[in-house]
C-alpha cells in the first residue's frame, strides 16, 4: 500500500487488464440496475363492453300448459316463455307486473277478468338461468289469482299478464 491510501496494483498488464475488466463489469452492472429501476414506458390499450341483447317474454304456444287452472277464488301458476339471444347465460332476477290482465281473443266477452298477478317477485328465488341462445319456460307457482268478479264468459280463457323481467349476466 502506498502512503496516499491507494492500493498499488502490481503484476503489469495482466493486473491492469483484470482491474479494468472488473471495473467495467461493475460499471455495466450498475448501469443495468439503474436502467431497470428507473425505466419508464408508455403505451395504449383498448377494451369495449358489449351490449346485452334484449331478453324477451313471449306468449305461450300450443303445448306450453301450466300445471294448474285458474278458477274464481283460487290461484294458478304463471308460465313465461323466455328467450335469451345472448351468447352467454343470463339469470332472470325478478318479475313484476306491467299492465292490465286481458283474456285471449277467443273470449271477447271476458272484459272483467278478476285476474291479478301476485305482484313483484323481487328477487326471484331462486333466480332462473337461461342458457345462451335459447328459450326456456319459467314457471311462477301460484303467481296469478282470480277473484269472484270474473265474468262467466272468462271460462276456459287464457289470460295475458304483461310482465317485466330483470335479467343479469
Three-state SS for 92?
strand
54 versus 108: the higher-pLDDT residue is 108
User: Does a structural domain hold residue 93?
Assistant: yes
166 versus 16: the higher-pLDDT residue is 166
Tell me what pLDDT residue 7 has.
46
Percent of the chain at pLDDT above 90? 29
145 versus 16: the higher-pLDDT residue is 145
136, with CB counted inside 10 A (0-12, 13-18, 19+), is middle
User: Does a structural domain hold residue 11?
Assistant: no
Cell numbers at 161, concatenated: 299478464
Number of domains present in the structure of the chain: 1
Reported as a single tens digit per residue, the pLDDT across 21-48 is 655 565 555 555 555 555 555 556 655 5
Tell me what pLDDT residue 52 has.
81
User: Does a structural domain hold residue 8?
Assistant: no
User: Does a structural domain hold residue 35?
Assistant: no
- The alpha carbon torsion through 80, 86, 88, 91 (nearest 10 deg) reads -30
Question: Residue 92: pLDDT above 50?
Answer: yes
84 versus 121: the higher-pLDDT residue is 84
C-alpha–C-alpha distance, residues 112 and 93, integer Å: 31
**CATH number of the domain encompassing residue 120:** 2.60.40
Q: What is the mean pLDDT of residues 62-71?
A: 75
Tell me what pLDDT residue 89 has.
95
pTM, two decimal places: 0.64
User: Does a structural domain hold residue 164?
Assistant: yes
Q: How many CA atoms lie within 13 A of 5 on its CB side?
A: 0
Q: Which of 36-40, 83-87, 161-165 has the lowest mean pLDDT?
A: 36-40
**Domain coverage including residue 74:** 56-168
User: Does a structural domain hold residue 42?
Assistant: no
Cell numbers at 10, concatenated: 502490481
User: Does a structural domain hold residue 95?
Assistant: yes
- The alpha carbon torsion through 75, 76, 77, 81 (nearest 10 deg) reads -120
Amino acid at each position: 500500500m502506498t502512503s496516499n491510501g491507494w492500493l498499488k496494483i502490481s503484476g503489469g498488464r495482466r493486473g491492469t487488464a483484470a482491474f479494468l475488466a472488473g471495473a467495467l463489469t461493475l460499471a455495466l452492472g450498475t448501469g443495468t440496475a439503474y436502467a431497470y429501476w428507473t425505466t419508464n414506458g408508455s403505451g395504449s390499450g383498448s377494451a369495449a363492453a358489449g351490449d346485452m341483447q334484449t331478453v324477451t317474454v313471449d306468449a305461450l304456444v300450443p303445448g306450453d300448459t301450466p300445471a294448474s287452472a285458474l278458477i274464481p277464488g283460487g290461484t294458478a301458476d304463471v308460465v313465461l316463455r323466455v328467450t335469451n339471444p345472448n351468447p352467454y347465460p343470463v339469470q332472470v332476477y325478478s318479475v313484476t307486473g306491467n299492465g292490465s290482465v286481458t283474456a285471449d281473443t277467443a273470449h271477447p266477452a271476458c272484459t272483467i277478468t278478476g285476474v291479478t298477478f301476485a305482484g313483484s317477485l323481487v328477487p326471484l328465488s331462486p333466480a332462473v338461468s337461461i342458457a345462451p341462445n335459447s328459450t326456456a319456460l319459467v314457471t311462477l307457482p301460484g303467481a296469478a289469482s282470480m277473484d269472484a268478479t270474473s265474468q262467466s264468459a272468462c271460462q276456459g280463457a287464457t289470460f295475458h299478464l304483461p310482465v317485466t323481467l330483470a335479467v343479469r349476466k
